Structure 1
Amino acid sequence: MSLRLSTVILPVRRWHDGGKERWQRAEELGFHTAYTYDHLSWRTFRDGPWFGALPTLTAAAAVTGRMRLGTLVTSPNFRHPVTLAKELITLDDVSNGRITLGIGAGGSGFDASTLRRAGEEPWTPRERADHFGEFLPLLDRLLTEDSVTYEGERYAAYEARNIPGCVQRPRLPFAVAATGPRGLGLAARHGQAWVTTGDPKISETGTPEQSLEAVRGQIDRLGAACAELGRDVDELGKVLLTGFTPDRPLGSFDAFVDFAGRHAALGIDEIVLHWPLPDTDFAADEKLFERIATEALAQL
């Protein structure tokens, strides 16, 4: 599979004040997919504008026609499989089958516990993994079966009906974000793609070479998880969301080409760049960003 270039557009602009044009520009630049974060807010953006992922993607679907769209990533932190399935089927229909669901166990950011019941403690990492381990298989069923009844430890569904199902068959693709053994097992079983941001332990203090080796190790472990299920790891797309490794791929055109080439050699087949946002962690030269979007893949 040849390398693809995608972008992630954070939902921080009003739709009629530059938001719509950004998604349309992403399609004009030829990005394979334009994703957005599925959070209630996020880190340094918590005191500023932040809009909902699925309504934003629905609006983007209405003003684009070729580019794929998706979340990067959705999690069980503030979603329920039954209502999420209904919304995804609708979004897949509005977009005429252009949706990819990036999904993971979720993190421990401040918005992860926004919907806590009174007296409920935030989920531990193990509890997040437990929820995800039940959430993802149920969501898989909800998107592929007309009616689902299920009683689990954390989720339940009673005659949940999802007719007519997705435009994409048997369902829209899952891109599963995972680095631990349980998550990699879920990616191997349910994913059409796998997502990594690299190794967070070395994102600030490590070197690009150490980061590259960490990603290599993650891909090796994904391969082992696939082998346990009798699945060829090459069946899964391998997505790298940039911005969380020691590298600076948007530092220059040559820096990006070098970064992309080294990761493509490992097996990464989709690289996702944050759309530049001034005065944030994702500040970058927008002209360089557009040049990379239109010219960089030809250099590889």
Structure 2
Amino acid sequence: MSLRLSTVILPYRRWHEGARATWQQAEELGFHAAYTYDHLSWRTFRDGPWFGAVPTLTAAAAVTERLRLGTLVTSPNFRHPVTLAKDLISLDDVSNGRITLGIGAGGTGFDATALGQDPWSPRERADRFAEFVQLLDTLLTEDGTEGVSYKGDFYSAFEARNIPGCVQRRRLPFAVAATGPRGLKLAALHGQAWVTTGDPKLFETGTPEQSLQAIRGQVEKLGAACETLGRDVAELDKILLTGFTPDRPLDSFDAFVDFAGNHAALGFNEIVVHWPIPESDFAADEKIFERIATEAVQQLG
């Protein structure tokens, strides 16, 4: 399977003051997909402008034609499966079947307590994520008039209807972000793709070689999870969200080609780069970025 290049566009600019043009440019540059974070705020952007993922993706769908769109990632931190499912079938309809749901267990940042709840323990977060994904899968695949009723430990639904369902059948694809055993099992069970950012413990003090080895181990564990469930791991797309490993792939065109080639050799078929944001963790030379977008995949063959 050939390598695809995608981007993440953070929702920090007003739509009519640059955001709209960025999403359109992502399509013009030939990116496979453009994603956005589904957060209420994020790290160093917390005290500045930040817009909602669902309205942003709806607007992006209206001004693009070919570009796939999605979240990278949505989590249970402030989402409920019933309302999220309704938003997703609406997004899938507006985009005419171009939505991918990147989904993860969520972290312990601002989103984790924004609704006034106490922080969840790692075990509770994993428990909630498992139930969240299962119920969301059901809601997006059952589009009959009887609706979906469910009573779980964390989430409930009563005759929740999602008529007419997703444009994409059986439902829009899930890209499950996971590195632990329970999350990898969910990816193997419900995912059409798997997402990783690498090993966060290596971000500041590790080396690119150590990071590559750690990611190789994650790929092997995904394969084991699929084998346990009787699924061919080759059925899952493998997505690497860059920017969280010791590497600096956007420093030069050659650096990116080397980085992408090394990870493609591990089985990744989609590399995601952040759209440059000046004076931020995602600052990058725009000319190098555009060359990567238009030439790198062809050079990798």
With normalisation by structure 1, the TM-score equals 0.98
Per-residue deviation, residues 198-226 of structure 1 (Å, max 9, x unmatched): 00011110000000001100000000000
CA distance in 1, matches of 2:107, 2:118: 15
Counterpart residue number, 1:159: 159
Residue type of the alignment partner of 2:70: G
CA shift at 1:91, angstroms? Answer: 0.3
Counterpart residue number, 1:216: 216
Counterpart residue number, 1:225: 225
For the residue of structure 1 that corresponds to 2:265, the secondary structure is helix
**Aligned: 1:75 with 2:75:** yes
Counterpart residue number, 1:39: 39
CA shift at 1:159, angstroms? Answer: 0.3
CA shift at 1:127, angstroms? Answer: 1.1
**Aligned: 1:134 with 2:110:** no
**Aligned: 1:247 with 2:247:** yes
Counterpart residue number, 1:297: 297
Residue type of the alignment partner of 2:204: E
Unpaired segments ≥5 residues, structure 1: none
Select the residue among 120, 125, 140 that pairs with 1:123: 120
Matches within 5 A, 1:56-95: 56-95=56-95
For the residue of structure 2 that corresponds to 1:198, the secondary structure is coil
Over the residues paired in the alignment, what is the CA RMSD in angstroms?
Answer: 0.6
CA shift at 1:261, angstroms? Answer: 0.3
CA distance in 1, matches of 2:268, 2:215: 9
Counterpart residue number, 1:8: 8
CA distance in 1, matches of 2:263, 2:95: 30
CA distance in 1, matches of 2:233, 2:257: 25
CA distance in 2, matches of 1:112, 1:134: 17
Per-residue deviation, residues 40-98 of structure 1 (Å, max 9, x unmatched): 00000000000000100000000000010000000000000000000000000000000
CA distance in 2, matches of 1:139, 1:3: 29
CA distance in 2, matches of 1:68, 1:109: 28
CA distance in 2, matches of 1:191, 1:67: 21
Counterpart residue number, 2:110: 110
Residue type of the alignment partner of 1:212: L
Counterpart residue number, 2:53: 53
Residue type of the alignment partner of 2:63: V
Residue type of the alignment partner of 1:141: T
CA shift at 1:111, angstroms? Answer: 2.3
Q: Which runs of 4+ in 1 moved over 2 A?
A: none
Per-residue deviation, residues 141-170 of structure 1 (Å, max 9, x unmatched): 000002111000100000000000000000
Residue type of the alignment partner of 1:100: T
Identity level (%): 80
CA distance in 1, matches of 2:111, 2:266: 34
For the residue of structure 2 that corresponds to 1:77, the secondary structure is coil
CA distance in 2, matches of 1:50, 1:5: 25
For the residue of structure 1 that corresponds to 2:39, the secondary structure is coil
Does the 8 Å CA contact 2:40/2:110 hold for their aligned counterparts? Answer: no
**Aligned: 1:144 with 2:147:** no
Unpaired segments ≥5 residues, structure 2: none
Counterpart residue number, 1:28: 28
CA distance in 2, matches of 1:129, 1:111: 16
Does the 8 Å CA contact 2:76/2:128 hold for their aligned counterparts? Answer: yes
